[in-house]
Structure 1
Amino acid sequence: MNIRKAKPDDLNSVLSLYAHARQQMAVSGNPTQWGSDKPALETVLQDIRQGCLFLIESGGEIVGVFAFLLGEEPTYRTIEGKWQNDLPYGVIHRIAGNGRQKGILEQCLNFCDTFTHNLRIDTHRQNAIMRHLLQKNGFLECGIIYVEDKTPRIAFQRCTDDPKTRREHRKNFP
């Protein structure tokens, strides 16, 4: 699998992945996290413009998408709980797959680990699949944060500071 930055020409493929993810969320008991309209088109376009939306490709097909940002996430400033540390971190948002390709989250994490050893992510309480995958991949539940629309999300963090797995924090994306 290959990971690259999304381009404006990729918009329809990205929107298709997000539509599939919304359907899967609803079927698996999580109809409210993204509802019928998230992520918003303007959010996706902004992610592309800012160069923080990444695509996972396999065999020439786009099979996954995620936003990855280095730096502070405003909604993470206040947490009902406690982060593992206050060190600089990367944030993963809006991750989705096509439903056929396994290992989307693992590919995303492998990519993000090359930029920082300190990752944060959040998800809806009803998103049992994502909660399980995060815990399986070494994330610890840290507490509750509230996103911009004031709905609660479970906040997770993973620190891979073992010298064998830690990678130096890069200044810029490739």
Structure 2
Amino acid sequence: MKVRYVKLELILMKPSEVDIAMNIIDSAKKHLKEQGIDQWQTGYPDYECIKNDSMTNKGFFAVDNGNILGYLCIDFDGEPAYNNLNGTWSSDKDYVVVHRMAISENARGKNVSSQIFKLVEKMSADKGITNFRVDTDADNVKMQHILKKNGFIYRGTIWFDNSEKIAFDKQF
């Protein structure tokens, strides 16, 4: 049975909430390490990175009835690493990218990521952007499954955070 949070919404993080986001990120780092995934094990994302998300109005919480279920960065300014894709994007139009998505421990496995992607798509469509890009580590099989389940298509590899990442995109 899938749990669906019916009031899930994306709320802009306040500068005073960086510690809350870092707690979610740190829990996700631990979860990745427990699975033997090297992603996020070298410091990134760190406090300064998340603070910068807040200062640039790119940091968001996924919230259901006042409960924070996750954190993510939503960026409409482009990702420089994506300019050097070893592969081909489906479109060269403007795009939204999600970075640093982490789901709180109590919400993992409950379809929150898929619901977040739908909310990001709506936010993007409201801005006239229908191109969505994301990347992850090759070892992060769970995220790859979530991406494919949500219509993302593998497009190649990029270099980001001192390692090769696999890149996906989607048109909606």
- Give me the whole-angstrom Cα distance separating, in 1, the residues matched to 2:152 and 2:62: 21
Q: CA deviation at 1:39?
A: 0.5
Question: Residues 145-167 of structure 1, C-alpha deviation per residue, up to 9 Å, x if partnerless?
Answer: 00152x1000000111xxxxxxx
1:132 is matched by which residue type in structure 2?
H
2:50 is matched by which residue type in structure 1?
V
For the pair 1:105 / 2:113, whether they are aligned, the reply is yes
The residue aligned with 2:32 is 25
- Give me the whole-angstrom Cα distance separating, in 2, the residues matched to 1:14 and 1:118: 26
Q: In percent, how many aligned pairs have the same letter?
A: 27
Question: How many residues align structurally?
Answer: 158
The residue aligned with 1:155 is 167
* Two-structure CA RMSD over aligned residues (Å): 1.3
1:112 is matched by which residue type in structure 2?
V
Runs of 4+ in 1 over 4 A off after TM superposition: none
Report if the CA contact (8 A) 2:151-2:170 is conserved.
Answer: yes
Of 151, 157, 170, the match for 1:138 = 151
The structure carrying a bigger helix percent of its residues is 2
Could you tell me which runs of 5 or more consecutive residues in structure 2 were left unpaired when the two chains were aligned: 1-7
Of 72, 95, 106, the match for 1:66 = 72
Report if the CA contact (8 A) 1:75-1:148 is conserved.
Answer: no
Of 34, 39, 47, the match for 1:41 = 47
Q: CA deviation at 1:123?
A: 0.2
